[in-house]
A and B are shown apart, each in its own frame.
Chain A
Amino acid sequence: GAVVSQHPSRVICKSGTSVKIECRSLDFQATTMFWYRQFPKQSLMLMATSNEGSKATYEQGVEKDKFLINHASLTLSTLTVTSAHPEDSSFYICSARPPTGNYGYTFGSGTRLTVV
């Protein structure tokens, strides 16, 4: 079945530094990928839509200069959290919908970001 690979699975960084998270579709091409954030015991919240070859679109309240998204190929999207602060600590998950099949979305395994 369709697989989305996400790395790293967990990262600890110092406040003020930047962290890059990678999301790859392994066996299908994804012109669109999605980035979600999930706080403990909360729902997944869509942060942004990553579009191959064009600018990402961000949900209301998400700072585009803080969460940089690059979708340079049909199988790779990256999310960079710039100048991270403790309040950015969260579980980040990427997703894509395979072009064939059941219209369900495939999710990466998530990245646990802790900013200290």
Chain B
Amino acid sequence: SQKIEQNSEALNIQEGKTATLTCNYTNYSPAYLQWYRQDPGRGPVFLLLIRENEKEKRKERLKVTFDTTLKQSLFHITASQPADSATYLCALDMDGGGADGLTFGKGTHLIIQP
């Protein structure tokens, strides 16, 4: 079965720097690889999605890359702010059809220090 690893349980970054989070998976590539933000006691919130045939996606201060050869996605937050502190989840949508749900990694707890 598919296994997803996110680089570290916790990541401390100084405000203003770029935070880079890693997501690696083991089996075949998903149709869509997605990133979510989860705050304590809340459900995940969708941030970005990248398709199997795409290399990079950007949205404001967020950037996602996808390398199907390495089976890896990188998630970048530039000019990080304390408000970016949260847990970030990598999720795989294997067929993209909306019928099978998502497979999640454990998440990386990002702490932006002022």
Mask of B53-84 contacts with A, CB within 8 angstroms, 1/0: 00000000000000000000000000000000
The interface centre, meaning the residue of B4, B41, B47, B101 with most chain A CB atoms within 10 A of its CB, is B101
Interface pair B102/A105, CB less than 8 Å apart: yes
The interface centre, meaning the residue of B4, B49, B102 with most chain A CB atoms within 10 A of its CB, is B102
The interface centre, meaning the residue of B36, B44, B47, B89 with most chain A CB atoms within 10 A of its CB, is B44
Given known pairs A32-B98, A49-B99, A110-B43, the reply for A103 and B105 (CB within 8 Å) is no
- The size bracket of the interface on B is 20 to 34
With beta carbons under 8 angstroms apart, the residue of A91, A93, A105, A112 that contacts B46 is A105
Count of A interface residues, CB-CB < 8 Å: 26
Mask of B18-36 contacts with A, CB within 8 angstroms, 1/0: 0000000000000010101
CA distance A77 to B103 in the complex (A): 21
CA distance A42 to B87 in the complex (A): 11
> B90 → chain A, closest Cβ, in Å?
9
Q: Enumerate chain B residues within 8 angstroms of A32, measured Cβ to Cβ.
A: 98-99
Interface pair B106/A103, CB less than 8 Å apart: no
Interface pair B103/A46, CB less than 8 Å apart: yes
Task: Give residues in B with beta carbon < 8 Å to A.
Answer: 4, 9, 32, 34, 36, 41-47, 49, 89, 93, 96, 98-107
A-B contact pairs, 11 of them (CB 8 A): A32-B98, A34-B102, A41-B9, A43-B4, A49-B101, A95-B43, A97-B98, A103-B49, A105-B34, A105-B101, A107-B44
